[in-house]
A and B are shown apart, each in its own frame.
Chain A
Amino acid sequence: EPEVTQTPSHQVTQMGQEVILRCVPISNHLYFYWYRQILGQKVEFLVSFYNNEISEKSEIFDDQFSVERPDGSNFTLKIRSTKLEDSAMYFCASRDDRSYEQYFGPGTRLTVT
Chain B
Amino acid sequence: QQQVKQSPQSLIVQKGGISIINCAYENTAFDYFPWYQQFPGKGPALLIAIRPDVSEKKEGRFTISFNKSAKQFSLHIMDSQPGDSATYFCAASPGNNRKLIWGLGTSLAVNP
A-side residues, CB < 8 A to B, are 4, 31, 33, 35, 41-45, 48, 50, 55-56, 58, 91, 95, 100-107
Contacts and interface: CB of A to CB of B under 8 A. Distances in A.
Contacts of A4: 43
A35 B45 CA distance: 14
Contact of B89 (A42, A58, A100, A107): A42
A55 to B, nearest CB: 5
Given A43-B89, A91-B43, A102 B104 contact: no
Interface of B: 32, 34, 36, 42-46, 49, 89, 91, 93, 96-105
Contacts of A48: 97-99
Contacts of A103: 46
B46 A106 contact: no
Given A4-B43, A56-B99, A103-B46, 12 more contacts: A35-B100, A42-B105, A43-B91, A43-B102, A45-B102, A95-B98, A100-B93, A102-B34, A102-B46, A104-B43, A104-B45, A104-B46
Contacts of B101: 45
Q: Is the interface of A mostly helix, strand, loop or mixed?
A: strand
28 contacts: A31-B97, A31-B98, A41-B104, A42-B103, A42-B104, A42-B105, A43-B91, A45-B99, A45-B101, A48-B97, A48-B99, A50-B97, A55-B96, A56-B96, A58-B99, A91-B44, A100-B32, A100-B49, A101-B46, A102-B34, A102-B98, A102-B100, A103-B46, A104-B36, A104-B46, A106-B42, A106-B43, A107-B43
B31 to A, nearest CB: 9
